[in-house]
Amino acid sequence: MPAEAQRRPLPSSSTRPNALTGLLANRQASTPIPPSLQAKMAAFANRTHSSSILESATNALESSTLGPPAHPNLHTANSYPPPRPRLTGLAARRTKVAFSLKDIDPSIVPTPSGGAAGAGLGAGRPSLAQDPPRRPNPANLASPFSNFSKIVDPSGALNFNGKAVLHAAGVNFQNGASFNINMEQLQLNEELGKGNYGTVKKVLHKPTNVAMAMKEIRLELDDAKLNAIIMELDILHRAVAPEIVEFYGAFFIESCVYYCMEYMDAGSLDKLQGAGVPEDVLGRIAGSMVRGLKFLKDDLQIIHRDVKPTNVLVNKKGEIKLCDFGVSGQLEKSLAKTNIGCQSYMAPERIKGESQNNLGTYTVSSDVWSLGLSIIEIGLGQYPYPPETYSNVFAQLTAIVHGDPPELPDDKYSEEARDWVVRCLAKKPEDRASYSELLEHPFLQRDAERQDVDMVGWVEKALEHREQRLAKEREAAMSPNTIPTLTSAPPEAQ
């Protein structure tokens, strides 16, 4: 270091304006700076140092205005537009005015109607409008669990909009009817059947020693299934007729609905096929089905919508009764509004409506078609359309819509019985007979006059034939060289 530099006194802290001034002083020996430029740089340094506190406070204020207002009805003045980074030099000169029409009048900003915003995503973002922010509609945010809480109250009772209230001790209906039954009164026996609807078991009601069929349906968060439960309960407790299964009560425990019905000890008609059905027995079955369907229509304004042999039950007394009203529908001027039911027994107009994506209306004559098809199946002992349609739904539906309707064989049944079925299976719904006309037909008029129809004997014979068939099937299942055979009914109907 030169001696001149060593002898130069160091400035005191009181005379040193800041670090930048000292840096300029130290650099004078090596790089001369004009006095005017030194003065400007020193002034800039002083201005920056003195405004640091104010700038930090300003930044804190600006950052605080970016959050949501403290009150939904208050908007801070600086909350919009958001502060932009401070630019200096040429960048500041090049910056243009950045605003749009929404900066002048935020009310012109359109409400999102599609995409993620339309789906409610990003709903927490600050609103650009001057109106107070709107709260989301609770109905749009409802989950299936919130729907579940609407029908199950804190006490554990299941409430179907006041129509029926199910609890562990029974069920109370809106019309004042009450059925008290609970699980402690029941002795569980064998399982009778299982399907998409749930499980059916045979139970014994211990206080009365009465055998019952108990259907167990697990409560699911699905409107269609909830509607099916209340529909069937509503029909069962109001449908008091010899051709409808008797209802004993229902209860609700541990997210399951249980309802108890009359136990029909011979099972459903689809399990009694193959033993042969004489014409007098077929007439008694047809008459019972028509009277049951007519009762639903005339007295309850209900269309069954799922008429098939599976839903016709028999007991060892020879009584024939309808069951399974979960997909039944309320009539509106003799028209039902939805297409539900087994496709194998659908009327042509229903199939056409579905193929055209038109779930339009259809009259009770659609049930008349299903009735006629069921009677032919019971008489033949198998589904009436060709076997190649059993495993091919498209071929099956094509045969129903475009093929000739099936008939009863003329070598086993009279012309009256065959004509009765023809009246049911007219392709055009307006050409089909009504329930009253079917009851007045000579085929059923003769049945009404008969007093000696041996229904009990026929049921015994049919049950014996069923046991023999099941035994052969068990033997065949144990054989390693078993060739599968076609079933007597389409897979959908079993």
The mean per-residue pLDDT over the stretch 236-245 comes to: 91
CA distance 271 to 308: 12
Q: Which residue has the tokens 């030169």?
A: 2
Give pLDDT, residue 117: 35
User: Which of 5-19, 112-126, 152-166 holds the top average pLDDT?
Assistant: 152-166
Q: What is the mean pLDDT of residues 65-92?
A: 47
Terminal CA-CA length for the chain: 109
Q: Is the pLDDT of residue 127 over 70?
A: no
Catalytic residues: 306
Q: What is the pLDDT of residue 388?
A: 75
Question: Is the per-residue pLDDT at 82 higher than 70?
Answer: no
Domains with residue ranges and CATH for the chain: 155-263 (3.30.200.20), 267-450 (1.10.510.10)
Tens of pLDDT along 358-417?
555 567 899 999 999 999 999 999 999 887 776 778 888 888 999 999 999 999 999 999
pLDDT at 404: 92
Q: Name the range with the highest mean pLDDT among 17-31, 98-112, 244-258, 412-426.
A: 412-426
Length of the chain: 494
The reply, when asked if residue 215 is annotated as ligand binding, is yes
Pair type for strands 329-330 and 302-303: antiparallel
SS (H, E, C) 67-127: CCCCCCCCCCCCCCCCCCCCCCHHHHHHCCCCCCHHHHCHHHCCCCCCHHHHCCCCCCCCC
- Cβ–Cβ under 8 Å, residues 376 and 401: no
Asked if residue 235 lies in contact with residue 303, where contact means CB atoms within 8 angstroms, the answer is no
Percent of the chain, pLDDT > 90?
35
- pLDDT-derived band at 241, boundaries 50, 70, 90: very high
Residue 315 vs residues 2, 38, 103, 239, 296: alpha-carbon distances, Å: 126, 114, 80, 19, 21
pLDDT at 41: 64
Distance CA 345, CA 223 (A): 25
State yes or no: pLDDT of 210 exceeds 50.
yes
> What separation in angstroms does the CA of 169 have from each of 46, 150, 188, 263?
87, 20, 17, 21
pLDDT over 70, % of the chain: 60
Span 185-196, average pLDDT: 88
pLDDT in the model for residue 283: 97
Cα–Cα distance measured from residue 159 to residue 146, given in angstroms and rounded to the nearest whole number = 14
Distance CA 61, CA 413 (A): 96
Mean pLDDT, range 444-450, rounded to an integer? 94
pLDDT over 50 (residue 86): yes
DSSP 165: E
The pLDDT assigned to 339 comes to: 44
- Say if pTM beats, i.e. exceeds, 0.75: no
